[in-house]
Chain A
Amino acid sequence: MAILSKEEARSIMEKVISLSKADECVVNLSGSNGGNIRYARNSVSTSGSEENTSLAVQSSFGKKSGTSTINEFDTASLEKVVRRSEELARLAPENPEFMSALEPQQYQEGKAYFKSTDDITPAMRAQFAADSIKPASAKGVTAAGFLEDSAGFNALMNSKGLFAYNQTSGVDFTVTMRTEDGTGSGWVARDFNDVKKLNTAEASQIALDKALRSRNAKAIEPGKYTVILEPAAAADLVQNMIYSMGARNADEGRSFLSKKGGGTKLGEKLVDERVKIYSDPLHGEVPFSPWSGDGVPIKRTSWIENGVVKNMFYDRYWASKAGREALPAPGRFVMEGGNASIDDMIKNTKRGVLVTRLWYIRTVDPQTLLYTGLTRDGTFYIENGKIMYPVKNFRFNESPIIMLNNLEALGKPQRIDGNLVPPMKIRDFTFTSLSDAV
């Protein structure tokens, strides 16, 4: 039952709409199959699988709306969920920001689903884990990892005749390798829509090498350093910037995109001119749903072009206030880069620090997008084009805006956490203290 075809979904949803007595009715039907396996101390600790289908009905009378959900699909249950949402709507306070359901829209065909990922079995998960644990135990290193996969569909229909359907699939894998003496730690992450691209043995080898190479790190003084941020490290900060680009907060004067004296930085140069960030639901490597949760079609959108703020995202209400079309926040993003590998970037560095990933990142000041956090699982000192030795982890206090103004070079983008992000070389990255953590 979990994954319904377009026609199966349409048929259930039409039945739901026909039961509605509300002014408007919006129906969302979704389902997924998935599973996970977790291991630690070179042994599997937990694993499980999940299957779920859920129907959500939003009814509205004027500006009052209510939502109800159910996971049973016989006629009596469908009737019950519709009546319940209507009851809720009658009880709900009026919402001045209520938006009437969308008219029917044209959508592009999604490309985010792969049957291979849908077909993952418990035995395959166990094999992925075994491929990761085996090389670790052979070297006396301890692996702790997690693999999670899911495939599913999402469909939306409303009483005005709108219908949208999309399928997605995804697999996420991470592993941390720690040396037995506790002085070395390495990590790697991989995520794909298509599980055929996943090789946990190859990925785990990277984490294993990093664990062995990061043993007995030396302490160097905190301060401003040229850094090479691997895509995982860079993505965390860039993502925090992208998802803070909401128009409403900017217009209300409480965003890093708000300007002195009022207004926003839309159309202004924000960061280095080599920075180009866009999103595209049909991107071959990082596809996502071509429509947002409320049915707005998503097209390729440029967010930052040549360092200039090109777009901010608008929900339907704020867009109507601004007299423009809604522009949903990106499901995923692509930051363009160059062709250089991380090794090439190291070769071209006189003095710097290579950062594998960042950890426990929290906002310090939303006005300047200042974030703090720490390096983790492989931090190395570079001199004259070579990695010299592992260094102790640092705490940083840095803003992606300042960082992307201090850009030295961009490497070849890699997929990380659903996004495509290049490794980047940044000058004057601010490390404020040392950590003993491994």
Chain B
Amino acid sequence: MKRRDFLQLAGMGAGALMLPTYLFGKSVPLDAPHSVLDARASKQLADVALNTARSQGASYADVRIGRYLNQYLFTREDRVQNTVNTESFGVGIRVIVNGTWGFAATDQVTPDGIKKAAEQAAAIAKANAKLQTEPVKLVPVQSYGEQEWRTPIERNAFDVPVAEKVDLLLSSNAAAMQEGANFINNSLFLVNEQKYFASTEGSYINQDIHRIWPTFTVTARDTASGKFKQRASLSAPMGMGWEYMSGRQQDKIQGPAGLIFYGNTYDQKEDAVSAARQAKEMLTAKSVKPGKYDLVLDPDHLGLTIHESVGHPLELDRVLGYEANYAGTSFATLDKWKTKNFNYGSKIVNLFADKTQDHSLGKVGWDDEGVKTKRWDLVKDGVLVNYQAIRDQAHIINENESHGCCYADSWSSVQFQRMPNVSLAPGTEKYSMQDMIKDVQDGIFIIGRGSYSIDQQRYNFQFGGTLFYEIKNGQVTEMLNDVAYQSNTQEFWNSCAKICDESDYRLFGSFFDGKGQPSQVSAVSHGSSTTRFNGVNVINTARNI
């Protein structure tokens, strides 16, 4: 599934019938209650797959029976452009025969359909074994027996009537328009993955996973000058239910210049009003003078920088060359890791992977090959200490246990190593965002996601943002335009000078992270507190056409 296909959804309406079929699955009534997979029936079907695979000579097999529910709402200004509800149900079977992987999937979730798919997976493995030069080696995994896990949610967003969701989005739109916005595009994405996993290792795991992402873009236009400016929402996609939309007072953090930041719940209407005000202010804001600045990066911005410059380069399959033809390889090579003194960042930089973090997109009980999830260090006191590895990779980094970060975006996709939540640990001494701004002489405060681009080995990057403010002598002075910073991953993380404490820690997320060929999406969170980086190169992006 390509990121582009999802983005195209937003512009859709009349062309809805031409949606790629995999997005549809079988559509279901918008307000239907959703039952989860029945564990007993699933176990019987799973055993058909495992037994067939064994009979075909498989040394290992796993099966994933999955029901994937999506609901997407697209609105602009005072109207709903589209509501899409999809359900996709099927089974994916993965086997190892003759030391080679084989995979097949089917939407015929019957003993017969499953048997055929298992046979096909084995046949593919046998055919590919002829071209295989590196037989698969799996590290051991515990046999977990029968297990259940659910995303801890307060209110299932799929059970919330569509009318209630539409009301919230349209009232946010109205508030933005009233504040002087010219346009607002406001969308809501909901995902529910119901997955039943079983493997020949003796695990039968039933999981019910929920994610939510409200996101908008407000546009302000000045017809006389022909200029327009956009301000994206400061929401984050979360592994939560409808409670994320409750905008609790205790989850708000007040910043300078009237800024409001959001933690574990989000106030969309309030953010839409701020967005309209700020988009208008951008129309006349000062263009940045290029040069070196101390950057104060807000978590809703820094998350993407972590994603691109830490999350991706430490994927072991990239490091080894399996993604060379698409996403690329990595500068963080095994020889650098083996030295045990490769300075990824300054001494205060601690970056960790964690599939158990509350409210995060990546939180699950077990990964898609039946490994219990956990937390582990990637960069410790500035030094590169580990990667992200799954069962067939862990032996390469001399570990005898998978990290539990294997994922497939559908029953019909083959699971592979995907980025877990990767986060920057907060500072240990008490230090707020306000304290940080006071300590900056000549800097820029960057908020929210913007343009992002990084090379195929993750050295050189350029990031923009949503909002930029000049900091002079410890004060936020005025808004800036046309800001982007360019740096090199190692240089950047070594310029990390100060990190706010835990009270400022928030999650950012990427809902449609793309990897693999055919491309698969994945959702992942990145936590951090507001952080300062000294002397970073800022360019001016203004042009005339």
List A residues at the B interface (Cβ < 8 Å). Answer: 26, 28, 30, 36, 38-48, 50, 52, 54, 56, 58, 66-71, 84-85, 87-88, 91-93, 95-97, 99, 122, 126, 129-130, 133, 142, 144-146, 148, 154, 156, 174-176, 178, 182, 187, 252-254, 256, 258-262, 292-294, 315-317, 359-370, 372-374, 376, 393, 395, 397, 399, 401-402, 432-438
Contacts and interface: CB of A to CB of B under 8 A. Distances in A.
A387 to B, nearest CB: 22
A92 B529 CA distance: 41
Given A48-B104, A48-B124, A433 B486 contact: yes
Contacts, number: 256
B545 A41 contact: no
Interface of B: 13-19, 21-22, 24-31, 79-86, 101, 103-105, 107, 124, 127-128, 131-134, 162-163, 166, 182-183, 219, 221, 223-228, 230, 320-326, 328-329, 331, 333, 412, 414, 451-460, 462, 464, 482, 484, 486, 488, 517-518, 537, 539, 541-545
Given A28-B18, A99-B14, A373-B453, A175 B325 contact: yes
A97 B30 contact: no
Given A130-B131, A146-B326, A294-B17, A36 B26 contact: no
Contact of B17 (A56, A146, A365, A432): A56
B428 to A, nearest CB: 33
A399 B454 CA distance: 18
Contact of A129 (B14, B131, B544): B131
A317 B18 contact: no
Given A48-B124, A84-B27, A437 B459 contact: yes
Contacts of B26: 68-71
A42 B322 CA distance: 10
Q: List the 9 closest pairs (A to B, CB-CB), nearest first.
A: A293-B18, A260-B226, A435-B460, A144-B324, A437-B455, A437-B457, A144-B325, A54-B21, A28-B17
Nearest to B490: A436
B353 to A, nearest CB: 23
B225 A260 contact: yes
B134 to A, nearest CB: 6
18 contacts: A28-B17, A41-B133, A67-B16, A69-B86, A70-B26, A92-B83, A126-B131, A146-B325, A252-B183, A253-B182, A261-B223, A364-B464, A365-B482, A368-B545, A372-B462, A395-B486, A432-B486, A437-B457
Contacts of B331: 436-437
* Interface core residue of B26, B82, B221, B326 (most chain A CB under 10 Å): B26
Contact of B321 (A38, A56, A92, A144): A144
Contacts of B412: 50
Contact of B79 (A50, A97, A373): A97
Contacts of B83: 92-93
Given A56-B24, A293-B18, A395-B486, A364 B541 contact: yes
Nearest to B22: A52
Contact of B24 (A54, A129, A393): A54
A47 B124 contact: yes
Contacts of B19: 56
Contacts of B28: 84
Nearest to A175: B325
* Interface core residue of A129, A182, A362, A368 (most chain B CB under 10 Å): A362
A374 B131 contact: no
Contacts of A95: 13, 79-82
Contact of B224 (A45, A254, A260): A260
A189 to B, nearest CB: 10
Contacts of B31: 91
Given A48-B414, A368-B545, A399-B545, A432 B539 contact: yes
A126 B124 CA distance: 11
Nearest to B75: A93
A58 B27 contact: no
B443 to A, nearest CB: 21
B30 A91 contact: yes
Given A93-B80, A315-B15, A46 B226 contact: no
Contacts of B15: 292-294, 315
A366 B185 CA distance: 15
A291 B393 CA distance: 47
A258 B228 contact: yes
B227 A44 contact: no
Contact of A374 (B80, B103, B183, B453): B453
Contact of A395 (B21, B105, B321, B462): B462
Contacts of B223: 253, 261-262
